[in-house]
Chains A and B, each alone.
Chain A
Amino acid sequence: MKKNTIKLLLIITPNLFASFPALANVSGGDWKPQIVEKMFVLPPQHLNKVLNNDFKTSILASNLRVTDNKIKSKIDKINELNSFLPKASKDETLEIKHQIILNKRDYIKDMNNLIIMKRQKLETKKAFFEKIKNNIKYTNKNKVNQSAFLNNKSKALERAQKLDLKIIEKTSLNINEKSKYFKQYETNKNAIEKLKIAIKNHPMNEKSVLSNNSDNKLEAISNYIYNIETEIAVLEMKEQMMSYMAKIVALDAMNLAENVSGINQKLDGSFTSGENYNDPENVIDIFTKL
């Protein structure tokens, strides 16, 4: 039993150190936002919702959920094993501690995967918002260049719209001359006006008024990018935390291996034998006890 445990621990311990750099390349699946360019005109908060919904259907999201559940089960298992420790015999304690170390190692592996996936999600989201930000900047730049033309056009549209009612009145007698487009224009114009009023009175409209302005939209998107960057920074700290956890587990494993082999390492680095019952010196108590 003991020999097997030692062999196992000797295999596990170097693996604990070796596995972490390799994990850095693990990919938790793919997420390419399937959002059409037309959606870019949405207010940022709606765009964020659309993006989150898009993420929920991705492979990355399902992998994240699976890993999350695995982590929860590992923690439950560690807690359960810890609860067995006080009542366990010496051999059982060794086995339980071994199992705890194995579960901790798996937890760290899964947690590391989870962090990588979360990072992937945030990086994709950040790249998406960066793209929108660049689009808005490009559009704004073009708007400045075309501002004189657009100004004239919007004035023309305004003047034409003011005349719509007058044109209808003045052309009411020319029924035969009216084209299909003329009739459709009138019908559609009325429908558009009704829709405009409905939009104006919509309770959600006030909330999105600020974000409809391109400058405000740019600011809102910059805020999203900033928030994502802070989340990435937090993840980096968690990665550091995981590396410390991995070190502790590795040290625990080394300690357990020493206890099992009966060799203790002194602070100065020299080794002393632990409970070695093959030496008669260590069994004197057993023989002298009445």
Chain B
Amino acid sequence: MYKSIAKLTLLISFVASSYANASPIGPLERERAKTLNLILDKTISIAERKKKLEKSKMKLLDLERMTINNKQINKNPDTHTTRAFEDFDLTFLVHNSFERNKPLSITWFEKIGLTTDNIMNTRVSRR
């Protein structure tokens, strides 16, 4: 009985603390992670990936707009939020892809340094 009450208390405190520490850019980060997961997913076909990415991209665009226009985060921004706004290109991937006129996946690969040239150079150096 006591053990179950202790477990319940721990669970409630964990849930409460996770809500208290929730970053205002959390939903955006989660959706971005899902999109990147989709880009790297090898189990689905190219056509399926394209279709899913298109849907995910629109959702991500909405979240990016919500985050950029959110005035509430101006007051006491946490470290995650501050860090996110320091790198616009990586945080707001969809906006960046529209800015560069390139697909979302290419934009992300290029931003983290995974270009064809870079990869080819890596192979050459191994020889």
B86 and A152 within 8 A (CB): yes
The reply to whether B77 and A167 form a contact with Cβ atoms under 8 Å apart is: no
Q: What 1/0 mask marks residues of chain A from 169 to 183 whose CB sits below 8 Å from any chain B CB? A: 011001001110110
A134-167 residues at the B interface, CB under 8 angstroms: 146, 148-150, 152-153, 155-157, 159-160, 163, 166-167
**Contact of A160 with B55 in the complex, beta carbons under 8 Å:** no
A160–B65 touching, CB < 8 Å: yes
Residue of B59, B66, B82, B98 ringed by the most chain A CB atoms within 10 A: B98
Q: What is the number of residues of chain A that contact chain B, defined by CB distance less than 8 Å?
A: 23
Are A179 and B59 in touch, CB under 8 angstroms?
yes
In the complex, residue of chain A having the shortest beta-carbon distance to the beta carbon of B54: A177
| B88: chain A residues within 8 A (beta carbon) | 152, 155-156, 159
B58–A156 touching, CB < 8 Å: no
* Majority SS at the chain A contact face: helix
- Contact residues in A for B55 (Cβ distance below 8 Å): 177
In the complex, the answer to whether A182 meets B61 with C-beta atoms within 8 Å is: yes
Q: How far is the CA of A160 from the CA of B91 in the complex (A)?
A: 12
**Which chain B residue lies CB-closest to A162?**
B99
User: Is A84 at the interface (CB under 8 A from chain B)?
Assistant: no
Chain B's interface size range is 20 to 34
- A174–B99 Cα gap in the complex (Å)? 18
Would A167 and B92 count as touching, CB distance under 8 A? no
B82 proximity list for chain A (CB < 8 A):
148-149, 152
Task: Contact check, B85 vs A153: say whether CB atoms are below 8 A apart.
Answer: yes
Bound-complex Cα distance A177 to B50 (A):
13
**B110 interfacial by beta-carbon distance below 8 Å:** no
B77 touches A149 (CB 8 A): yes
Within 8 Å by CB of B85, from A149, A167, A171, lies A149
Given contacts A149-B77, A156-B88, A156-B92, contact A171 B58 (CB under 8 A): yes
Contact B77 A159 (CB under 8 A): no
Name the CB-closest residue of B to A157: B68
Q: Within 8 Å CB of A17, what residues of B?
A: none
Determine whether A244 belongs to the interface, using a CB cutoff of 8 Å to chain B. Answer: no
- 24 A-B residue contacts at CB 8 Å? A146-B74, A146-B77, A148-B82, A149-B81, A149-B85, A150-B74, A153-B85, A156-B85, A157-B68, A157-B69, A160-B64, A160-B65, A160-B69, A160-B92, A163-B98, A167-B61, A167-B98, A170-B98, A174-B54, A177-B54, A177-B58, A179-B58, A182-B61, A182-B62
